Amino acid sequence: MDTLPPRHGSATRPDARPGVPPWSEPVVVRRPAVQTAPLVFSSPHSGRDYPPAFLNDSRLDMATLRRSEDSFVEELFGSAPDRGCPLIHATFPRTWCDVNREPWELDPAMFADPLPAYVNAASPRVGAGLGTIARVVSTGEAIYRRKLTFEEAEARIATCWRPYHQALAALITETLHRFGCCLLIDCHSMPSLATLPARERPPDIVLGDAHGTSCAAIATRRVEEALSRRGLRVRRNEPYAGGYVTRHYGRPREGVHALQIEIARNLYMDEGRIEPAAGFARMKALLGQVIGELAAADWSSLKP
């Protein structure tokens, strides 16, 4: 499965250079003692190790930068390895490098030097300021005090994007070879949907299967039912149908299915303080039950 860009060119170090990761482990893979189910869980946006040089370059304080995180999601799904399923998560923040994007979705306005022709500068995500190297945080404020160099973007992609996708692709391939199919569940969190009409109750969960193209209907339905039985309001594909990870890896005809799950943050965290709230333990336990139910299910129908 070809996922990697071409090659060009969490402890933090106070002497870290922009573009060079200050952590020794940008990606964490937690494997079960024995994988017993064809499920892989990923959390690409919950990293919270911020390089000091990045903080110095930012116009924003830490609290504002952290609003782009899917905070604590890797902890919510932390029981997956205990139930026979691997879990992969990033330790770097998505504002540093967003692995739920193509490798070269870059905004030319952010850079001091011209970008190569292979860069995708026209994607809607780049236009919104949320490319592989984000220009703004999720609330719209510009991140940087200065323009970056393309060398910095290359370094982040080589040391963050590439290792994440190498590890994820390896987990999917191993699972496919072992079980004949793989269901990737890409885990995220979403801010409170305050823009909904007052009469409409916001969903607790949004499942994204790229409108039925990244995942077999039976898999989406099974996950939806497992969540709904536990009292959660579930919606499909609106407003989150799935990002790069879901759409790139989801190839049902090859036996690889990908489903994005978005969890409302107000169910488990204080969105202002960015810390776990009273509901955190309950949501973690509930998701543990869901993971256990899914791990025990028969997924043979997902085989090509």
d(CA 154, CA 143): 19
Report pTM: 0.91
Under 8 Å between Cβ of 208 and 65: no
In the chain, the largest separation of any two C-alpha atoms, in whole Å, equals 54
Once rounded to an integer, what is the mean pLDDT over residues 200-205? 89
Q: How confident is the model at residue 201 (pLDDT cuts 50, 70, 90)?
A: confident
Closest to 184 (Cα-Cα) out of 99, 228, 249: 249
Task: Say what percent of the chain tops pLDDT 70.
Answer: 90
Once rounded to an integer, what is the mean pLDDT over residues 155-167? 97
d(CA 168, CA 163): 8
**pLDDT value at 159 more than 80:** yes
Query: What's the confidence (pLDDT) of residue 18?
Result: 45
Least confident of 19-28, 219-228, 250-259, 292-301: 19-28
Query: What's the confidence (pLDDT) of residue 14?
Result: 31
Tell me the torsion sign for CA atoms 31, 212, 190, 293: negative
**pLDDT value at 121 more than 90:** yes
pLDDT tens for residues 87-111? 999 999 999 999 999 999 999 999 9
**pLDDT value at 19 more than 90:** no
What are the chain's domains? 27-48+64-92+157-297 (3.40.630.40)
Q: How confident is the model at residue 192 (pLDDT cuts 50, 70, 90)?
A: confident
Q: Give me the residue label for tokens 């024995």.
A: 34
pLDDT tens for residues 274-296? 999 999 999 999 999 999 999 99
Once rounded to an integer, what is the mean pLDDT over residues 107-130? 97
